[in-house]
Structure 1
Amino acid sequence: MAVRNYSVDNPSVLEIDAMHPAYEDGDFGITETPPNATNCRNEYCVSDEEYLDMIKAYVFPSRFEWVLIVLYIQVFTIGLCGNLLVCFAVWRNQHMRTVTNYFIVNLAVADLLVIIICLPPTVLVDVSETWYMGAVMCKVVHYMQGVSVSVSVLTLSCISVERWYAICHPLTFRSTTTRVRSIIVVTWVVALVILIPELIVLDTSSKYENLTILLTVCRPTMLPFYNPMAYELFKMVALYFLPIILMSVTYGNIVICLWSNAIPCEPTTASSRPLHNNSRTTAEAQLIARRKAAKMLIAVVVMFGVCYLPVHLTNILRYAKLLPESENITFFPLVAHWLCYFNSAINPVIYNFMSARFRNEFKHACSCCTRVWCRDVRLRRRQGDSMYSYRYTNDMSQTEQMTLTTIRPDINHVDE
């Protein structure tokens, strides 16, 4: 049986390696070549219909891939609903329109793009090893996923720097919503510019173009000015390792400031102390709130690092030609690929468990949706009952009219 050799240069690109014998020789489970192979249109001297059936059998999902499909469906559902709830919570509540939450909404929008635009076609590529959407969408889908991931990384970096200034240096920097919006625009512009090479080099190719669309791949083309290894290393350093180092330093300083009480705060006088001993002062409450927010953001960063590390590690091993080719090893790139999409769905779950404000807004949004759904159900039932009553009345009226019409000639006949 041919071993599927997946490539994860781009987190959204999984393809059969053209250098692999299974792809070159058309190994779809047949290990022997017929002896009289002259004047054959394929490697096994079978008809096009039989050869196409072999390809279909090869790309049919395995048991592991059916499990992968279920996992992708769960990620799609959780990611779509969760990120929409994040945007709705900040839009609905005026008090939640803070500087940090603006960045969180930008992160949710980037994750929504990944979930909506990139996940569905990627599931098809993971399972069938085939790109069905043509050359244009090959460029657009992978470009948009790269842009969304880059925006997520840059946004997380901006959040860490903004929190570091706000907590460790509150007197030297004050962030405003206008400045935040400008920074968000810059992150999108930078991401759009960095990923431009993918719009140029990505294209589709197929060995069986005259026979079927199956096993068509979307991959970078070898152009004179394009070095795929250098470009991937640049993205790996600029969009993963450097941001991770930056966020580690900033959040490390934030933890030191928050848990060592090294934050400038107003002194508490005897007249300003609360009347009850169990109540906390304003400064203490603010410190606790900042600690909770820092824990939540650190959890988001840790999940990002964990989810994207396997993909980058796989790329490094692949370019160094240290990744062995075996049927068991192919599961690792598939799981690493799924983790990238899992990261786009896990952030709202983190907000729900670690932020009381987001949790309350999520509950309110869900209750509103439930009430609207129940109201629609009751309205449809009432409309159905009304229509049934109308039909029943109308049918009875028609029955009475038919009865009178049938009886009346007999009455007239008797009178005569």
Structure 2
Amino acid sequence: MENLTNIPANLSGTRDNSSVPIECTDIFCRPDEEYLDYLEDYVFPDDWEWGIIILYALTFIVGLSGNVLVCFAVWRNRSMRTVTNIFIVNLAIADLAVIIICLPPTLLSDVTETWYFGFAMCKIALFLQTTSVAVSVFTLSAISVERWYAICYPLRFKSTKRRAKIIILVIWIIAFLLALPEVIVADLTRFVKRQYIDLLIFCGPQWSDKTNQVVYQSVIIVLMYLLPLVLMTVTYSMIAVVLWTGKIPGAIESANRPMMDGNVNRAEEQLESRKKAAKMLITVVIGFAVCYFPVHLFNILRYADALRFVAPRMIQVLSMISHWLPYLNSSINPIIYNFMSVQTKGAFHLTGIAGFAGVAFFADCWNARSLVQPDARLSP
């Protein structure tokens, strides 16, 4: 492991403070103490970086607890092991991987601009980061398609747990394949910072051909952002129209039945509930678009060498914020998908963690029964 503890003797050795002339140990003839002080100041967080660290810490806590609660609630309640919840649990697992595997080393590297974990972990970390983020994004896309079929075409679509598990397996395989190039090109690099020669280490992809690098990043942007964004926008827009207008396929018979006075209020409540669900779908798309756009834009500008005239401090700030936003998305996914459902309190009471889950991180609100009236028969 190469880090600041491996500073050579000519930099970290003791030096006599007598009148003996200082022997130069670098090309700038800087005293060892001044050099080490610079490295310490460089690695230690600035005041504004502590604010970023707090954001990362809060995101880690919310993401870890929320996604764990999702998995635990489904595991404890057999009635919640629906097709949709299979996808949601897979999303929670992927988001947990993003939070646990990606967030800590990203924060440490962004703040200290140094990689402390060695060559092997550099390759493993980059591979797992790309894999977990890809699984999270692809699962979001799969959920949108599954809900689109179940709500817009309930009579011609029969979703099964077996089919859901096959889709999830395919998602993981594609994610692994997409991350393989990261393993091949990942490497450690020493870099020079300002006027000092230092020993700080950078972990990242080291492409021998810039064209291949641009092609790979283009594929990443298309498969992990543009296509999922278009897919979710189209499917959720169609679902939102159905829920907002109340024109639910398969619910015609129910709509044509004469309504008793006692059912009028219930119908109005169901219509309002569907409108809230439609708004939640819009929130899903906006959340994904906002959280993942900056990091992809930043990569495009970086690989196009368009940041050469931007101040280094500004680049560091933009980099840290753009890296934080995808983690924010992984932490709020349980809230977006499972918040404010009728079944929330009951689910947590059944799991025995209702007190801990006071803000209702989990619910089966994506079950079609909770989105539409019962006699609409939209459940797969």
TM value normalised by structure 2: 0.77
Please name the residue that 1:19 is paired with. Answer: none
Q: Residue type of the partner of 1:203?
A: D
Deviates more, 1:300-309 or 1:179-188: 300-309
Shift of 1:111: 0.7
How many Å separate the matches in 2 of 1:262 and 1:170? 13
Which structure has the bigger radius of gyration? 1
**Of 322, 347, 358, the match for 1:361:** 347
Q: 1:184-333 alignment to 2 at 5 Å? A: 184-207=168-191, 215-223=200-208, 227-264=212-249, 265-268=251-254, 276-278=262-264, 280=266, 292-323=276-307, 324-326=309-311, 327-333=313-319
SS in 1 for 2:114: coil
Shift of 1:194: 0.9
Distance 1:287 1:162, change over 3 A: farther
How many Å separate the matches in 2 of 1:289 and 1:91? 27
Please name the residue that 2:102 is paired with. Answer: 118
Please name the residue that 2:40 is paired with. Answer: 56
Q: 1:175-186 alignment to 2 at 5 Å? A: 175-186=159-170
Q: 1:85-100 alignment to 2 at 5 Å? A: 85-100=69-84
Q: Residue type of the partner of 1:247?
A: M
How many Å separate the matches in 2 of 1:325 and 1:241? 26
How many Å separate the matches in 2 of 1:225 and 1:337? 23
Query: What CA RMSD, in Å, does the superposition of the two structures yield over aligned residues?
Result: 2.9
**Of 149, 156, 170, the match for 2:140:** 156
How many Å separate the matches in 1 of 2:83 and 2:272? 18
1:347 correspondence with 2:327? no
Deviates more, 1:181-190 or 1:97-106: 97-106
Contact kept in structure 2, 1:292 and 1:354, CA below 8 Å = no
Q: Residue type of the partner of 1:254?
A: I
Contact kept in structure 1, 2:63 and 2:331, CA below 8 Å = yes
Shift of 1:52: 2.5
Contact kept in structure 1, 2:229 and 2:288, CA below 8 Å = no
Shift of 1:357: 2.3
How many Å separate the matches in 1 of 2:80 and 2:276? 15
SS in 2 for 1:267: helix
Contact kept in structure 1, 2:39 and 2:198, CA below 8 Å = no
How many Å separate the matches in 2 of 1:359 and 1:125? 40
Please name the residue that 1:134 is paired with. Answer: 118
List per-residue Cα deviations over 1:104-139 (Å, max 9, x = no partner).
111110010111112112221011111101111111
Shift of 1:191: 0.4
How many Å separate the matches in 2 of 1:228 and 1:250? 32
Q: Residue type of the partner of 2:184?
A: I
List per-residue Cα deviations over 1:172-223 (Å, max 9, x = no partner).
2111111111111110111011110001110112258xxx995211011233
Deviates more, 1:227-236 or 1:314-323: 314-323
How many Å separate the matches in 1 of 2:199 and 2:50? 19
Deviates more, 1:196-205 or 1:252-261: 252-261
Distance 1:87 1:124, change over 3 A: same
The percent identity for this pair of structures is 51
Contact kept in structure 2, 1:132 and 1:213, CA below 8 Å = no
SS in 1 for 2:253: coil
List per-residue Cα deviations over 1:135-193 (Å, max 9, x = no partner).
11111112111111111111111111111111111222111111111111110111011
Q: Unpaired runs of 5+ in structure 1?
A: 1-38, 371-416
For these two proteins, the number of residue pairs brought into alignment is 328
List per-residue Cα deviations over 1:24-73 (Å, max 9, x = no partner).
xxxxxxxxxxxxxxx84323212444322222222221111111111111
How many Å separate the matches in 2 of 1:273 and 1:160? 33
Higher RCO (C-alpha 8 Å, min separation 6): 2
Distance 1:120 1:167, change over 3 A: same
1:167 correspondence with 2:154? no
Q: 1:25-44 alignment to 2 at 5 Å? A: 40-44=24-28
How many Å separate the matches in 2 of 1:361 and 1:213? 55
Q: Residue type of the partner of 1:253?
A: M
TM value normalised by structure 1: 0.71
